[in-house]
Structure 1
Amino acid sequence: MNKLGRKLFTSITVAVLLIFVMFVLLANLFMPKYYIYKTKEQLGEAVKTISALQEANWAVAIPQLEQQYRVTIVYDNLRKSENDLNESFKQQLATKRVTLNKFWITDESLLKVKAGTRVNIIYDQGKLKSSFYASFIPKGETIVLIGLSMAYISDTIRMINEFILILALCSVLIIVSVVWLLSYRMTKPLKELGQVAKDISELRFRKARVDTRDEIGELAESINAMSDKLSAAHADLSRKNVSLKRFMSDMTHELKTPVSLIQAYAEGIQDGLDDGSYAATILRQNENMARLIDEFLNFSKIERDELELKPVAVKDLFHECAEKFGIELKSRHLQFVIRDELPGNPLIEADPDKIRMVFHNLLGNAVKYAAGERIDVHFGKQDEEIVFAMSNHFAGEIADASQLWEPFYVEESSRHKAVSGTGLGLAIVKTVLERHGFRCHIETKDQTIRFYIYFKENSPYST
């Protein structure tokens, strides 16, 4: 038995034993008084009934009264002497099989009865190990004795104590069995939960096998849910650490190239080797470095900036961003094909600068990685949401499209100078949309990648 089981067993056993000890003490302390009280009450009922009967026919009802109240009733003339009454009562009681070795009624008691007072006397029978409780009442010219034999209360209490002791021993045996069974059933799942918690603390994520339908079962379900979430979070963190290491390597490479070129061309200028293009090259490489650093800083502060929500015409904002890519589209021989199935010019409540950043990053990503001649854009409506979709063909393979949302993630197939990047653009997109409460997801099929954004339409601002 484990510690909790022993604690349960000890606590319950001690509680039961204390209850039995209390029963014994109460029996010894209050049982004699209670026994006499109940006997007196029983005799009182018989006395009350006899007193209410008419003198003419009360004696006829004695057999019925004796059976009803389980008492012995005898009577005689109240004018007889003390000795004659004592002798008469003893003979009558003996006739009714009540044997007494000690019985008397004194002159003082007779005077009280003649005065109309009820007299109660307890006769201790000594070796007979019993007592006789007698009540004397007057009934006209008759003195009536209503008596009840009582066993020694000490013997009764001793028997009760013996019974309680036997009951206690049997109860302890039953308690040992029941508590052992209950403690085993209760502590086994708790032990399992403790081991699972220990394994989780050591990053060994597993589930507890507990099938009870109680609070322990609910605790097991909570721990299992926590284990699943921690496992997913740990896997996600590990994956992000790998991406971070890859990003640091890429960032170092991306920065090292322009720094090296800037240094080389600067030394060329210093040595008088400038053919007129060195300064332009240095400026271009400096711009590349500034762009990389700005993108990194944007991502680092995107979650800290407060959103300045305003009514935003989502279609107008997209067209504004798309116009800025006109030169790049011509140089890449690309064109936007926009299919607008969204009636009117609905508004959304959002931070225009942040949504502008979303469109800019999506458009930049599409232009950079597009392998075909067109980029398709679609505006539509689904229930109460505005649906924005953008798709384009791409070269290479994407193993898991959902990873494109992760910070620092860049597909291996895209790692060449023409399309190099940090992988922060789409991470910024997802972070901004989540902060606004907008849904988004990516699909890839047949060398086509599709981005979906679901904006919540702000009805009060709709036109």
Structure 2
Amino acid sequence: MNKLNKKLIGRILFVFCIVVIFSIVMNSFFLPKYLLYKKKHALAAITEQLDAMDTKQLLRNMEALENKYDVTIVNTPVTTNLNGLNETIVGLLNKKGITLSKFWITDESLARLNEYQMVRKIYNQEKLKSSFLVTFMKKDEIVFVVGESISHSAETLTIVNQFTLYTYAGELLLLIILSALFTRSIVRPLAKIQDAAEGISSLSFTKVHIRTGDEIESLAESINQMSDKLEHAHHELEARNENLRQFIANISHELKTPLSLIKAYSSGIKDGMDDGTYIDVIQQQTDDIAMLVGKLLELSKLQTDLYRMNTFDFKKLLHRTLQKYRFSIQQEAIQLSVDDSLLSQHHIFADEQKIEMVLNNFISNAMKYSTNQQIRITALNKDDFLHFSITNGIENDEQRQWDLIWEPFYVMESSRNKQLSGTGLGLSIARTILQKHEAPFGFHIENEEITFYFSLPIDTSKN
């Protein structure tokens, strides 16, 4: 039995003991008083009904009334001889089986009867271990005595309390058994939840299946949801750590090549081997490093930079951006098609400078990796949003990890050909900007073509 079982059973037994003690105290101290109160109240109600009858009717129906109300009724004419009156009433009661050792009508009581007031008395018969509750009333010079015997409750209560204790002892044993079964049904699911929680703490994201139909089941469902979320967060953290390791490896590779060249050509100059081109090579490699560092700083700045949101004409921005690539597109014989015929509302609310960077990265990326020398750009309106997409041909390598395409330094060309790979930061910069805009974005691959897309809200007041 574990600690929770013991605690629950202990508290249940404690409450049970409190109930037993309370019950015995109530029986011993308050039950006799309550019983006497109820008897007095019932006798008063009976005498009120008898007082409402006329004397002849009362005398005629006296025996029937005794049987109906389970009381003793005697009567005698009122006399001035108090001793004789008392002896007569005691004798009448004796004839009906009521033997009283203490009974006496006082002068004061007789005076009240003569004024037709009811007199209520209780006579304690200690030797008989009972009391006699009586009401005197006078009707037409006849005194009526209505009484009821009440046995003393002390001994009876002692016997009742003893029997009650025996009963409670049996109930206690039964309660212990039932409590053990009851607490077991509660503790078992909690033990399963504890095991699941310990598993989660050791990165074993297990689930617990409990069907109790109460708060314990709700707790189990919450544990399962927490396990799922922690497992997802753990996998994401591992992926981020892996990306960080890959990021460090990639940036080391990117910097290693130009630094090696700089070192080699510097040594050549020192050894007098310069043919007049060594300085140019060093400057070129230095520029490449500066460009890489600039891109990294730009990516870092974009994650914390304040965005200046305003309304601008996306259509004009798109054509202005494409104009910068016209010569390169013609030189590489790329067929570019732009479809903005469905772009009736082209004013959007965003940071124009940042969106221009997204367009630059998407367009330059498409020019680098297009395998069919074709690029298709589409812009259209739908549901108060401007939807942009750019499509180019690719080699759909099944081993390529497309879900890493947005990560820094992940390049589509595994050979790291400088003409193709670039810095590998363009799509990461685009993702950061679009995330800051809370814009839906992504890519999909179909028929050996890849399409990048994003959506931005339209400013309807400007269109």
TM-score clears 0.5: yes
Farther-moved stretch of structure 1 (63-72 vs 42-51): 63-72
The change in CA–CA distance for 1:300 and 1:170 in structure 2 (over 3 A counts) is: farther
Query: Displacement of 1:450 after TM fit?
Result: 1.3
Work out whether residues 344 and 380 of structure 2, in 8 Å CA contact, stay in contact via their aligned partners in 1. Answer: no
Partner in structure 2 of residue 211 of structure 1: 211
Partner in structure 2 of residue 338 of structure 1: 338
Farther-moved stretch of structure 1 (407-416 vs 392-401): 407-416
The change in CA–CA distance for 1:414 and 1:129 in structure 2 (over 3 A counts) is: farther
The change in CA–CA distance for 1:222 and 1:408 in structure 2 (over 3 A counts) is: farther
In the TM superposition, 1:51-450 aligns within 5 A as 51-79=51-79, 81-395=81-395, 397=397, 399-411=400-412, 413-450=414-451
Distance (whole Å) between structure 1 residues aligned to residue 241 and residue 413 of structure 2: 17
Farther-moved stretch of structure 1 (166-175 vs 5-14): 166-175
Query: Displacement of 1:112 after TM fit?
Result: 4.1
SS state at 2:131 partner = strand
Q: Does 1:456 align with 2:461?
A: no
Distance (whole Å) between structure 2 residues aligned to residue 61 and residue 422 of structure 1: 120
Partner in structure 2 of residue 32 of structure 1: 32
Farther-moved stretch of structure 1 (249-258 vs 130-139): 130-139
- Ranges of 4+ aligned residues in structure 1 off by more than 4 Å: none
Work out whether residues 46 and 65 of structure 1, in 8 Å CA contact, stay in contact via their aligned partners in 2. Answer: no
Query: Displacement of 1:400 after TM fit?
Result: 4.0
Q: Kindly, what percent of the aligned residue pairs are identical?
A: 36
Distance (whole Å) between structure 2 residues aligned to residue 263 and residue 331 of structure 1: 35
Distance (whole Å) between structure 1 residues aligned to residue 316 and residue 424 of structure 2: 27
Distance (whole Å) between structure 2 residues aligned to residue 460 and residue 162 of structure 1: 90
Distance (whole Å) between structure 2 residues aligned to residue 213 and residue 329 of structure 1: 67
Unmatched 5+ stretches in structure 2: none
Work out whether residues 376 and 392 of structure 2, in 8 Å CA contact, stay in contact via their aligned partners in 1. Answer: yes
Amino acid at match of 1:252: S
Amino acid at match of 1:94: N
Work out whether residues 396 and 413 of structure 1, in 8 Å CA contact, stay in contact via their aligned partners in 2. Answer: no
Amino acid at match of 1:263: K
SS state at 1:203 partner = coil
1:117-148, Cα deviation, whole Å (9 max, x unpaired): 43333233344332211222222311111101
1:131-187, Cα deviation, whole Å (9 max, x unpaired): 211222222311111101112121342344245424433443343233323322222
The change in CA–CA distance for 1:48 and 1:220 in structure 2 (over 3 A counts) is: same
Query: Displacement of 1:64 after TM fit?
Result: 4.1
The change in CA–CA distance for 1:303 and 1:164 in structure 2 (over 3 A counts) is: farther
Amino acid at match of 2:118: R
Partner in structure 2 of residue 44 of structure 1: 44
Unmatched 5+ stretches in structure 1: none
Query: Displacement of 1:282 after TM fit?
Result: 2.1
Work out whether residues 388 and 454 of structure 2, in 8 Å CA contact, stay in contact via their aligned partners in 1. Answer: yes
Query: Displacement of 1:55 after TM fit?
Result: 3.1
Distance (whole Å) between structure 2 residues aligned to residue 407 and residue 231 of structure 1: 24
SS state at 1:302 partner = helix
Query: Displacement of 1:220 after TM fit?
Result: 1.9
Amino acid at match of 1:23: S
Work out whether residues 113 and 119 of structure 2, in 8 Å CA contact, stay in contact via their aligned partners in 1. Answer: yes
Query: Displacement of 1:422 after TM fit?
Result: 4.5
Work out whether residues 389 and 453 of structure 1, in 8 Å CA contact, stay in contact via their aligned partners in 2. Answer: yes
Farther-moved stretch of structure 1 (209-218 vs 71-80): 209-218
Distance (whole Å) between structure 1 residues aligned to residue 39 and residue 445 of structure 2: 97
SS state at 1:279 partner = helix
Amino acid at match of 1:438: A
Distance (whole Å) between structure 1 residues aligned to residue 339 and residue 179 of structure 2: 74
Work out whether residues 132 and 149 of structure 1, in 8 Å CA contact, stay in contact via their aligned partners in 2. Answer: yes
Amino acid at match of 1:302: L
Distance (whole Å) between structure 1 residues aligned to residue 415 and residue 35 of structure 2: 101
Distance (whole Å) between structure 2 residues aligned to residue 221 and residue 426 of structure 1: 39
Work out whether residues 345 and 381 of structure 2, in 8 Å CA contact, stay in contact via their aligned partners in 1. Answer: no
The change in CA–CA distance for 1:249 and 1:53 in structure 2 (over 3 A counts) is: same
Matched positions, count: 462
Partner in structure 2 of residue 13 of structure 1: 13
Choose between structure 1 and 2 for higher RCO, CA contacts under 8 A separated by at least 6 residues.
1
1:34-79, Cα deviation, whole Å (9 max, x unpaired): 2222221122112222222223433223234334432211110111
TM-score after normalising by structure 1: 0.91
Superposition RMSD in Å: 2.5
Work out whether residues 251 and 409 of structure 2, in 8 Å CA contact, stay in contact via their aligned partners in 1. Answer: no
Work out whether residues 35 and 153 of structure 1, in 8 Å CA contact, stay in contact via their aligned partners in 2. Answer: no
The change in CA–CA distance for 1:209 and 1:423 in structure 2 (over 3 A counts) is: farther
SS state at 1:449 partner = strand
The change in CA–CA distance for 1:105 and 1:396 in structure 2 (over 3 A counts) is: closer
